[in-house]
Amino acid sequence: MCTWRRLAAILLLASACATPARAQITVSGDATATIGSRDDIAFFNYTDYEHNALRMFRVALSGMWRPSERLAFLTELRSENAEHLVPRALYVRVHPFKGRTFDVQAGRIPPVFGAFARRSYGADANPLIGYPLAYQYLTSLRPDAIPGSADDLLFMRARGWQSSFPVGITTPGPGVPIVSAYRWDTGVEAHAAAGHLDGSIALTTGTLANPRVDDDNGGRQIAGRVGWTPAVGLVLGASASRGEFLTRAIGDTYAPLLGRKTYAQRALGADAEYSRDYFLIRGEFIESSWNLPALNLPRIDGPLKARAGFVEGRYRLTPRFFAAARIDRLTFSKIRGQRFFAGAPTPWDAPVRRMEAGGGVYLMRNLVSRVVVQRNKRDAGRVTRRTFVSAQLSYWF
Amino acid sequence: MRFPILCILCALGLTSASVHATAGKPSATGAIRGRVDIHVERSLRDSRADAAALGMGGSRDPQERRRSVVYLETAPRAAFEQNEEHRGRMDQRNERFVPHVLAIVAGTYVDFPNGDNTYHNVFSLSKTKDFNLGRYAAGRSKAVRFERPGVVRVFCDIHSHMSAFILVFAHRFFAVTDEEGRYRIEGVPPGTYTVVLWNETVHGDSPRRTITIGENGGDTDADFSIK
């Protein structure tokens, strides 16, 4: 039995001793229908479930059973495009000390890194329709396949939606984003708050880019975030994570050969939010690096880095109408190939810029309609510029 | 929820002609009193199941779902002839609106002071009154004037579990029940009236009773029971 499962069992037993309170069951959910133009060539908005984020029907159902004041079981089931029902969240929450903000959660748990992936309520959760690049855009990296050389990686620039490499699983498949907002990881986490500070730390099976239910490499990810609220309305956060990225098959094969024992994804993040009266501004910056085995010439020297940052804002024009916009950028560190770009230093994936703007109207308190225009520009690929218009109807209860 | 709103709006649209009060002749006023027994289990949907949260959050007082409003469906004409400016108050405290149910006369200003150490954003999309006060911090307050009779549902744009009701009446003959479900409507002129009960857990027909205040005034009982 792995560590987090043992811990979950201990926590459950401890909670059984807690004073039983009146059991409470809470059920909520949301349904979101998004209509937009197709994106079958550029794949700017494809998610790691291979769905277009601007053209999707999503249903989510959440449930919480709270048998005592100190114990709760939570789940969230999601279905995208009516294909399959996925338990995005399934965990136990233990609140051991009454009167203190300290909780432990174990199972398929919400991410602690960054801020975007935990947003959940109303139009604030995502004021627009598209996701930030850091949380959605698929880079060409895969945990189950690696490039043999720098040229192999450069050949896959702008092809994250269907990348393929000669080592590992050679069939084409989707790459990974820096942080997946569509899947949650499995493990155990603790969260505490006191005064203006709060902190979270999590030990999980997968990584930010590749959250998992089952273990595929024997490694663990440790991630944490510290938040500071110096004034009401202003939240500053700093996050960090490190987790084994490559699958066991690749790691075991090449680690002895190359002397390196771990091939990890490391990430640092900073997030900020300020709101007042009718406006809300948020921003996040994330730098992620991946260590891959350097196999053949031309070798990939050093870790592959990706940097992403976005700033978004929302303004409530009237009780019903709001306007929102986001500026987004994703860049990559440079490597040298031989066959491509004449050996000049070149970003290992194609940098992307995105601007999204639009507005929405609350038809009811829990029925929101949005229309956005999203403009994308990428430095490589079959299609380098695409503009999408998308409309969304979102209902929650 | 729609039916009670319509009830109130329709009722308040009626004139005093349907009230058998004696006009122009001075007489003692009476009081309508009673008790509202609620046998409905407390709603289990106190908040959303927020699977994205990192903890239970702070402990909160339970919603005051047992509070009801008892009002006269039709009121004496004199009840509409008042020009005083009224002021009400709905606090935001421990991530709750306090009181959960507020009953006011049309034209009343309601203050919404923020007593928490976090932002709140009070808003309503109700047809009776839509407003959005924006985000403001602890110690600050904003006010809204409610001109039209009806039911106004109030929410916080930041905290999904915060909600409240404001019932706006065109007359002053209403009362909010106390913790034990008791109410008392004072100063009712002699006549025959329909007394209506509003409670957020009642869907469909609102419970009502017909009572008569005699020429000598006095107390008249009207109890209600919600099952």
Query: pLDDT tens, A136-195?
Result: 999 999 999 999 999 999 999 999 999 999 999 999 999 999 999 989 999 999 999 999
Residues of A in contact with B123 (CB under 8 A): 319
Interface of A with B in 241-300 (CB under 8 A): 275-278, 280
| Phi, psi for B144 (deg, rounded to 5) | -130, 140
ipTM of predicted assembly, 2 dp: 0.80
Tokens of A86: 């996925």
Distant-in-sequence, close-in-space partners of A2: CB < 8 Å, separation ≥ 6:
A205, A215
User: What is the pLDDT confidence band of residue A19, given thresholds at 50, 70 and 90?
Assistant: very low
**C-alpha separations of B32 from A175, B182, B210, B217 in Å:** 72, 11, 11, 10
Q: Can you give the pLDDT at residue A350?
A: 97
Q: Strand pairing partners for B188?
A: B30
E strand or H helix that includes residue A99: none
pLDDT digits over A209-236, tens only? Answer: 999 999 988 889 999 999 999 998 999 9
Residues of B in contact with A120 (CB under 8 A): 48, 50-53
Q: Strand pairing partners for A242?
A: A222, A266
Query: Which of B48, B125, B157 is closest, CB to CB, to A28?
Result: B48
Q: Can you give the pLDDT at residue A26?
A: 86
Per this entry, what is the length of chain B?
A: 227
Residues of A in contact with B136 (CB under 8 A): 276-277
Q: What is the mean pLDDT of chain A?
A: 90
Q: How far is it, in rounded angstroms, from Cα A10 to Cα A32?
A: 38
User: What is the pLDDT confidence band of residue A7, given thresholds at 50, 70 and 90?
Assistant: low
Can you tell me whether residue B12 is helix, strand or coil? helix
**C-alpha separations of A9 from A105, A107, B55, B163 in Å:** 12, 11, 18, 37
User: What is the pLDDT confidence band of residue A1, given thresholds at 50, 70 and 90?
Assistant: very low
Q: Does A102 touch chain B (CB under 8 A)?
A: yes
Where b means 16+ CB within 10 Å and e means fewer, B192-202 reads: ebbbbbbbbeb
Task: Inspect the interface and report whether the beta carbons of A232 and B138 lie closer than 8 Å.
Answer: yes
Helices (H) and strands (E) in chain A, counts: 5, 20
Q: How far is it, in rounded angstroms, from Cα A280 to Cα A83?
A: 35
Task: Inspect the interface and report whether the beta carbons of B51 and A75 lie closer than 8 Å.
Answer: yes
Tokens of A366: 């829990």
Say if residues A246 and A264 touch (Cβ distance below 8 Å). no
Q: How far is it, in rounded angstroms, from Cα A322 to Cα B105?
A: 31
Which among A43, A79, A86 is positioned nearest to A174, based on CA atoms?
A43
Tokens of B94: 């421990």
More confident residue, A141 or A253: A141
**C-alpha separations of A387 from A54, A151, B123 in Å:** 12, 30, 34
Task: Inspect the interface and report whether the beta carbons of B55 and A102 lie closer than 8 Å.
Answer: yes
Interface of B with A in 21-80 (CB under 8 A): 44-56, 58-59
pLDDT digits over A268-319, tens only? Answer: 999 999 999 999 999 999 999 999 888 888 999 889 999 999 999 999 999 9
Q: Please give the distance of CA B9 from its chain centroid, rounded to a whole number.
A: 13
Task: Inspect the interface and report whether the beta carbons of B50 and A121 lie closer than 8 Å.
Answer: yes
Say if residues A347 and A379 touch (Cβ distance below 8 Å). yes
Which among B195, B202, B159 is positioned nearest to B66, based on CA atoms?
B202
Q: What is the mean pLDDT of chain B?
A: 83
Q: Does A63 touch chain B (CB under 8 A)?
A: yes
Say if residues A203 and A221 touch (Cβ distance below 8 Å). yes
At A70, the amino acid letter reads R
Task: Inspect the interface and report whether the beta carbons of A95 and B50 lie closer than 8 Å.
Answer: no
Query: Which of A25, A122, A233 is closest, CB to CB, to B137?
Result: A233
At B43, the amino acid letter reads S
Q: Does A115 touch chain B (CB under 8 A)?
A: no
pLDDT digits over A364-392, tens only? Answer: 999 999 999 999 999 998 899 999 999 99
Find the residue in A nearest to B123 (Cα): A319
Interface of A with B in 142-181 (CB under 8 A): none
Percent of the residues in chain A that have a pLDDT greater than 70, as a whole number: 92
Find the residue in A nearest to B160 (Cα): A121
User: What is the pLDDT confidence band of residue B85, given thresholds at 50, 70 and 90?
Assistant: confident
- Over 70: is that where the pLDDT of A104 sits? yes
Handedness of CA A326, A332, A338, A341 (dihedral sign): positive
Residues of A in contact with B48 (CB under 8 A): 26, 28, 62, 120-121, 396
